[in-house]
Amino acid sequence: MSEATHEATLSTTHDEPRVVAAALAPDNTDAMTTAVDGDAVRTTIVREDAGGLAASVDDYLVNLTVADAVCETARDTDNT
């Protein structure tokens, strides 16, 4: 990848941040780094152009929503 000029960092809190981060990992690209800090999942995305960054952020947010919903459903199922 040539020199990147656009970056976004997304930080979200979760009841099970390590599980959410692990669920996201298979879809992360080389342009993404994810870390867990307490109850937060922080992902930084670096892209060469704004359009690519926007597309990557959009894809990541869809994947994040699904991962968090699966964790919540699993937790609710365990409690029944």
59 inside domain: yes
Domain that holds residue 62: 6-79
- For residue 44, the domain's CATH number is 3.30.310
Amino acid, single-letter form, for residue 76: D
What is the pTM for the complete model shown? 0.84
Residue 4 confidence (pLDDT):
52
Phi, psi of 58 (to 5 degrees): -60, -50
Quick one: average pLDDT of 31-40? Answer: 96
The reported pLDDT for the residue numbered 76 is: 80
Residue 45, beta-bridge partner list: 8, 32
Q: Is residue 15 a part of any domain in this protein? A: yes
Residue 1 lies in a domain: no
Q: Which residue carries 């597309």 as its tokens?
A: 55
What is the overall mean pLDDT for the chain?
90
In a domain, 18, yes or no: yes
**Mapping DSSP to helix (H, G, I), strand (E, B) and coil, where does residue 7 land?**
strand
Are 56 and 32 in contact by the 8 Å Cβ rule? The answer is: yes
Number of domains within the chain: 1
